[in-house]
Chain A
């Protein structure tokens, strides 16, 4: 299921696997991937099971195949931390994945976790941009930075929204949020948490992600 919405005059497809497709530029946009997070935990002697990074790569494969995107744009926090020297297995997994996507152009808008990424980003052939990166009507950053110079798309927040129903039912889900001047992407990484839920603000478009569906969340009107 895909939602196509108009943001700042551009058609963007919202994908339930926590990514944004920009067909006009053949670009897949994600944020907060946090590759190697589990490896960083293991290096600190906290035994997190293996498989989180691999699962994220498989999800990325599916998205790239479905959208036929030729470019992957990451709004910061691609790597969770500088990979410890011992984490060769994780690095090898990433390099193998890259080898199967040789033609893919990968662009990273630097985030706070990418501050000291070591040589791995070079080895992976990733172009690193200091934020902000201006493209079309968009100002692309990691930290939200609405500036007026364009429509800001950002990550970093790991946004979530809470749905309520009759019988006092409640459910917290990751979400996309698009305000009048700025939009937020959900965190892509499978081993990442969510920020506390913020209720939708008037004038905002919020889309909750539930399994393989996207649900537009009704937003109160300004008077309510």
Chain B
């Protein structure tokens, strides 16, 4: 043991701890120059595993002067930037800064540790521009912004290590790809750079590690060390069982029928976290709990990503000092530095995935040897099946994988502008640099040429337009000269994740948080909505701010925004199918299955319970038209793809119009005329022949690609969401993504961004791979077309879903005639 390690070990001892074996393993690997990925549940010492390696290395190299405490250190005496710590949420930066500072201060090291995020003050940012701290905690967006600084190259010469916190959260998103691109640049500026990722448990850890570490110029993946942290605690999953079961469960509304039992669970004692799947559910449960227990005002809080930073901080502090009894939250509390453990975790609604359930359960039971326990609160009866299935999947250790993204060109277009801004970049070094990332390892020369053409001329179709010049190309040197372009680009970097959002502010001045523009756009002045735990009345929008006042009554105030609806993971879907098969055979094991038995019995009476190798199709006619209900039990995303595909294939046989709705269990096709379903099965409805062609065609028919173009257009800089104070000049260059999509499709059909939107729908929205597997599974099984008199319990939630897509092969005029005829009928 070196003397430095001795100091560290005694610092641990002073706190009453000993380092875990895996922490020592990481320190040693780091000092040997290795990179890697550390995976363990939240709050098990991953932070110090990654942080102390760089400290040890420096202490070994600088044995003199350590341990001498300094009252106030000269900034210039601190070593220049050595460690970059990336965190996905800027809200986590402050906690991380605290944690990293503790050993630095205790050991009296002359290091500076600071954060730089969107929340950092302008003066501090300016100071950092002169000289970065020894360790900098920042977000992927802020790192990209650092790379746009004209003098960036000198900032990173001493950089030794990049730590990417919560890598599982970033990987599989465009922000993760942004990290990959930034790392590729940093590895160039600081050869020998080591990369360490911190991740929760995933089904594809090797891939996660390879994605983070990138590849050598020769094309081989960099090898990294996969280090497993503390062995997971024992984990228990149970459910609150409703006393009565609705025979027609409906997922469409936010059901708080379980409120009394939830209150009883919270009363059992200790601190409780109530996880919900959406922000609107979070607001609603908070209101419901407060209405039932007004005495909990002050010890009951809510926490979600749209709330103002200040109120989130207050809630987190309240959790830490134990002054809160219960916090209703969303995935916003999934991440982050550990809170002093809570005693109880409730999950409202299905967790939809096994990894997520493990993550949330891990918030409880931190005492050594204690059990982590999560109690699910079903919001509709079928979720009982999902709880039972989640327990099965957990026992089988079927944890979901998170696939990384493949070469999104919109992001590459953005990154090229970033590099061109920071003092310029040579065109000929880009291909090798980009190919050193996992995401762009197969990038072709043509694709890069297209991206460069796109940022310099706006694409091949605009070559003749001199008014367009975002990036200049002077003999292979790419630069940005236009100050407006530079300003807009810097502002746009931060918009990868979010829809353009508006601040919610009281007329009297206080800011409450922010919500998506798309939500506010649906409100009329005078409408009431729940936000930040209050009933608010919408007044008006001005200057990117939604002005509100307190509503006099909470009556009629409904949280109306959806948030992302998580689809059932394929691991959980498989477990649900197994539970349905057991139910079909009359086995209802466990209290959840016993509770839902009456619903499934009714399903069997009216129709049947689909077997594991059976595709059940229910056919029913109502006042609304002719319904076909399909139940593949593959998760909502796959069903979205399958429904569009089936609608398209049936519509090839006869002119017909379908609208459709999907959920995690199945989908519905609804048409004004009966659909030739038997004929369609005979003609190869489940066939894998021409699959890609048919999927693409159905995609266009259902306008899915048109919708996905919104995100692509924003990242590539086609849509600029504006900044405060310059509204007017911006409005003249704003167009909806739908309009842009139409214009591109018509006048520049070869545009690669259109193709990317298509590819993103295929892979991310529809999970094409999973869809192909699902189709093969269905084709190998048997099909039952079951006429039913009335909709069944499985059909009911689909029947009432109002969010619908459409596919048609009828002439527009014929459709309009039918619609106007319907309007005229009394």
Contacts and interface: CB of A to CB of B under 8 A. Distances in A.
Interface of A: 38-52, 55, 80-81, 84, 86-89, 113, 163-171, 190-193, 208, 210-211, 213, 215-218
B468 A43 contact: yes
Nearest to A165: B819
B822 A166 contact: yes
**Chain A CB within 10 Å, residue with most, of B454, B470, B812, B816:** B816
B744 A169 contact: no
Nearest to A210: B812
A51 B742 CA distance: 12
B462 A208 contact: no
Interface string B654-673: 00011100000000001110
B67 interface: no
A46 B717 contact: yes
B461 A50 contact: yes
Contacts, number: 144
A45 B469 contact: yes
B467 A217 contact: no
Nearest to B720: A46
A168 B459 CA distance: 40
Q: Sort chain B's interface into a size bin.
A: 35 or more
B718 interface: yes
B670 A168 contact: yes
User: SS class of chain A's interface: helix, strand, loop or mixed?
Assistant: mixed
A191 to B, nearest CB: 6
Interface string B739-776: 11001101110010000000000000000000000000
Contacts of B718: 46-48
A215 B658 CA distance: 22
A176 B610 CA distance: 51
Nearest to B627: A167
B458 interface: yes
A45 B672 contact: no
Interface in B791-826: 802, 804, 806, 812-813, 815-820, 822-824
Given A168-B670, A191-B735, A45 B485 contact: yes
A87 B467 contact: yes
A213 B625 CA distance: 27
Contacts of A167: 624-626, 657-659, 670-672
B590 interface: no
Contacts of B470: 45, 47
B733 A41 contact: yes
29 contacts: A39-B465, A39-B467, A40-B732, A44-B484, A45-B468, A48-B743, A49-B748, A50-B462, A50-B464, A55-B747, A86-B465, A88-B466, A163-B819, A164-B819, A165-B672, A166-B625, A166-B818, A167-B658, A168-B802, A169-B657, A169-B672, A169-B806, A169-B815, A169-B819, A170-B659, A210-B816, A211-B813, A215-B816, A218-B823
B483 to A, nearest CB: 12
B447 interface: no
Nearest to A217: B820
Nearest to B454: A47
A46 B461 CA distance: 13
Contact of A45 (B482, B744, B747): B482
Interface string B466-484: 1111100000000000101
**Chain A CB within 10 Å, residue with most, of B457, B484, B671, B740:** B740
